[in-house]
Amino acid sequence: MELWIGLMTGILFGALLQQGRVLRFEKQVGAMLLQDMTILKFMLSAIIVGMIGINLLVHLGVVDLSVKSTQVGANLIGSLLFGAGWAVMGYCPGTSLGALGEGRWHAIWAILGMLVGAAIYAEVYPVMKATVVTWGSFGKVTLPQLFGISPWVVIPVLVALFLLLFFWFEKNDL
Amino acid sequence: MAISLNAVASVEGFVRTREFEKKGEMRMTTVRSWRPYVAGALVGILAIASVFVSTKVLGKAKYLGASTTFVRSAGLVEKTVASDHVADNEYYQSKKVKVDWQFMVVLGILIGSFAASRIDRSFKFESVPPIWSERFGDNVGVRAVGAFLGGIVAMFGARLAGGCPSGHGLSGLMQLSLSGFIAMAGFFGAGVLVARMVYKPKKGEGIR
């Protein structure tokens, strides 16, 4: 059952990524070159809808959050490394499989590289765990928890910010 | 799926295309497309539905993500040649080398993208992507080496950061997670910097 739900979710996710045209190398690198903000429009739209819906369900006590730990050192160094590799390969882990699906078969090199990268990380994990991962640990914390305010204060601010960004993207034909 | 695809397709009418002249050559560019907004909003609904359904059916909320699957896949491959080594590895132990919910999501992305691109005929074989070919030429080998090395660095980074633009970006920000905001800043910060260095757009070309 778990696997079937996962597969259905993935098929829908893949179809929407493809229809949003965010799977393409030129869209991902285009965003990093600040020429084409398609992937940001897509991500921020998903986040606006998702954060309202999920926080509503949490508010109603229907579902739980599953927040990743904040370890400032690991989050920051890791994400900077990711960004550097992302710029060169032009795909992120999820979109690489989707790109392969729509015929961009060169994504296979990126996928192979990422498998090797994951294997290397598994080898050096004990060292990372003892060093970088311990730097600046805040635990599983959300912005509202950090500032001691309601998520319903944070969400409207973010929505307004994202809508302003959309306005700016469209105004500048990005 | 058919419903969501139709919803996206129906906004095609809003798409305006514009021709503009650049360095003597005519290029077609699509402006004011509603595609990314509509498809993105539907992914938001999918994320909510996924969390709801997984909580009800599986007893645990499942949030979209992708990069842990690369760890499990690497473990599954390594297992075929060195099963003891994988069994002893602390990281593989913590992530559990098996086919799970997220593994199927990632596999589903491949299938969904293939189906959608065949339906609207945007499926296209491509051996070297645009932007890359303008900078490095059409050599498949050069692209392969670049993408492979980029992939190693990116996945190492994603595992250190604890997630990728799906897990940290989409799911993290939907939950207003502090780690998600830090990671997104890092992903795009380094991405913008390195893309500029790698693809070196000439003065006045493209960058506003």
pLDDT, tens only, A3-44: 999 999 999 999 999 999 999 999 999 999 999 999 999 999
Q: Is B7 on the interface with A (CB under 8 A)?
A: no
Distance CA B99, CA A122 (A): 17
Poorest-pLDDT segment among B1-5, B79-83, B164-168? B1-5
Mean of pLDDT values over A96-101: 97
Contact A49 B44 (CB under 8 A): yes
Residue A59 is predicted with a pLDDT of: 97
A 45-104: CB under 8 A from B: 45-51, 53-55, 57, 62-72, 74-94, 96-104
pLDDT bin (cut points 50, 70, 90) of residue B205 is low
The answer, yes or no, to whether residue B105 has pLDDT greater than 50, is yes
The answer, yes or no, to whether residue A147 has pLDDT greater than 60, is yes
Mean of pLDDT values over B28-53: 87
* Nearest residue to A12 (alpha-carbon basis) of B65, B54, B110, B12: B110
Q: Tell me what percent of chain A is helix, strand and coil, each rounded to the nearest 5.
A: 75, 5, 25
CA distances from A19 to A4, B34, B111 (A): 23, 11, 13
Residue B33 is predicted with a pLDDT of: 83
Distance CA A122, CA A129 (A): 11
Mean of pLDDT values over B33-50: 96
Only one residue has tokens 């996928």, namely A111
pLDDT bin (cut points 50, 70, 90) of residue B16 is very low
Test mutation, A52, A69, A86, chain B, max B CBs within 10 A:
A86
Only one residue has tokens 């429009």, namely A41
Residue B34 is predicted with a pLDDT of: 87
Test mutation, B179, B194, B203, chain A, max A CBs within 10 A:
B179
Structural tokens at position A80: 């900077």
Query: Which tens digits make up the pLDDT trace of B111-164?
Result: 999 999 999 999 999 999 999 999 999 999 999 999 999 999 999 999 999 999
Mean of pLDDT values over A138-151: 96
CA distances from B178 to A5, A39, A72, B17 (A): 28, 21, 9, 39
